[in-house]
Amino acid sequence: MAPVNPLIEETWKEKLTDEFNAPYFSQLKSFLVEEKTSHQVYPPGSQIFNAFNYTPFNKVKVIILGQDPYHGSGQAHGLSFSVPAGIKQPPSLQNIFKEIKSDLGIPLPAHGNLENWAKQGVLLLNAILTVRAGQASSHQNKGWEQFTDAAIKRLSEERENLVFLLWGNFAIAKKLLIDSSRHLILSSTHPSPFSVHRGFFGNKHFSKTNQYLKSHGIGEVDWRV
């Protein structure tokens, strides 16, 4: 089978070479090729690895872990929780901005594009990197979780003093991949309207993240978008 040569930032390509060369990744690629013959898949192919492309391995400071991409038209662009400018902010993202306002006094923004965070070292990583239009979690258990778990493990093992923001049970389960003696793990309920009042609002994760980064001599994140 032909080698997989993804459009992904070079430092990540090097770190994840073993994954790209593994049988499961070839199977994943074949699944996506077949899926696209009969279904709309989000995000567009050129944006699937945007989280990695915006935030090189050695630049990562913070990881915000999502589950899978938004499945509505025009929403997903490869960054967890983010939508392109001009697209209505989904409820979870609105709640994230509300917590930032409560925590840091930053006004609610007019758009939901989080590229500014990604460029500062916030890895906006979904565990699953693609989705069928209109069908949440439709690309679950196709190989993406193995790939993104490998990325989390590499960060945990090779970097120090990162902040992992784990919101909701799906993300919290990834604690097993992270060395808590080397990194800060902050967890709470998900910002979804169904759970936001059970621990997300008031978690102060954004100020806590900056306090931790500052205490380790790492530049703080400007949480404005």
Measured distance CA(172)–CA(212) in Å, rounded: 19
- Active site residue: 18, 68, 149, 222, which one? 68
Structure letter (DSSP) for residue 200: T
Of 144, 16, 142, the closest CA to residue 78 belongs to: 144
Q: What share of the chain is helix, strand, coil (3-state, %, to 5)?
A: 40, 10, 45
- Residue 103 makes CB contacts below 8 A (sequence gap 6+) with 204, 205, 206, 207
Listed in sequence order, the residues at least 6 apart from 192 whose beta carbon sits closer than 8 Å to its beta carbon are 91, 92, 95, 168
Secondary element (H or E) of residue 126: strand 122-126
Q: From CA 23, how far away is CA 177, in angstroms rounded?
A: 22
Answer whether 75's CB lies under 8 Å from 87's CB.
yes
- Our answer to whether residue 222 is catalytic in this structure is no
| Residue 119 CA neighbour count, 13 Å, CB half | 7
Catalytic residues: 68
